[in-house]
Amino acid sequence: MTASPARPFVVAAVCGLCDSPTDDGLSVTFRPARGPRRRVHLCAHCRTNRPGRDRDELLADDHTWALLERETTILADAYRTGVWLPCRDEYHWAQTLARTTWTQSSVEQTLRNAGEHVRAGCLMRVMELLPHLLALVDDQDRALRPARELLATLTDDPS
C-alpha cells in the first residue's frame, strides 16, 4: 500500500465572528487575549451588523454581539418549536424591556429589577448582553436587531 500523494492543503476562509464561509478577501485586525494579533475575515452579515463596523479591528463588543446573535437565534427557535416555554414573569419582563428606551443605564436598571424567576430564566441570560453593546451603539442600531426581534416575538404572542 502506498501513501497517497501530497495534496495542496487549502483552508477556506471562515468568518472570525460566526464561522460562516467567506471569500471576499477582506479582513480586520484581531487581537486575541493571548497570542499574536492577526488578520481575520468577516462574512458580509457580520461586517455590516457588528457594533464595531466602523473600525478596522475586531472589538470585544463585536464578540458580544456575535454571542447575542447566536443565543437569540437559538432561543427564538426553541420558542417557535415549543422547546422553550417562558414563564409568565418572563413574558411580562419582555414587555417591560421592549417598552423601555434602551440606554446602558436603563437596561441595567431593568435587568436589576427582574424578579427571581426571570433571573433564573433563559431570556435574562441573553438580554444581559445588551448593556455591553449599548456602551457602543444607540438603541436603534442594527446590532441590537436580534434582541428586538426576539422581544417582539414574545410580546406579540397572546399567550
Which chain residues interact with Zn ion by CB under 5 A?
15, 17-18, 20, 43, 46
End-to-end CA distance of the chain: 66
> Which CB, 43 or 118, lies closer to Zn ion?
43
Under 8 Å between Cβ of 22 and 41: yes
> Which CB, 32 or 115, lies closer to Zn ion?
32
Angle in degrees, CA 9, 14, 19, rounded to 5: 130
The least CB distance from residue 129 to Zn ion, in Å, is 17
> Which CB, 19 or 138, lies closer to Zn ion?
19
Nearest by Cα to 28 from 17, 83, 97? 17
The least CB distance from residue 67 to Zn ion, in Å, is 12
> Which CB, 24 or 157, lies closer to Zn ion?
24
Grid coordinates of 76: 427564538
The least CB distance from residue 64 to Zn ion, in Å, is 14
Cα–Cα distance measured from residue 141 to residue 110, given in angstroms and rounded to the nearest whole number:
19
Cα–Cα distance measured from residue 107 to residue 6, given in angstroms and rounded to the nearest whole number:
56
The least CB distance from residue 63 to Zn ion, in Å, is 11
The three-state secondary structure class of 115 is: coil
The least CB distance from residue 36 to Zn ion, in Å, is 22
Cα–Cα distance measured from residue 68 to residue 51, given in angstroms and rounded to the nearest whole number:
12
> Which CB, 6 or 12, lies closer to Zn ion?
12
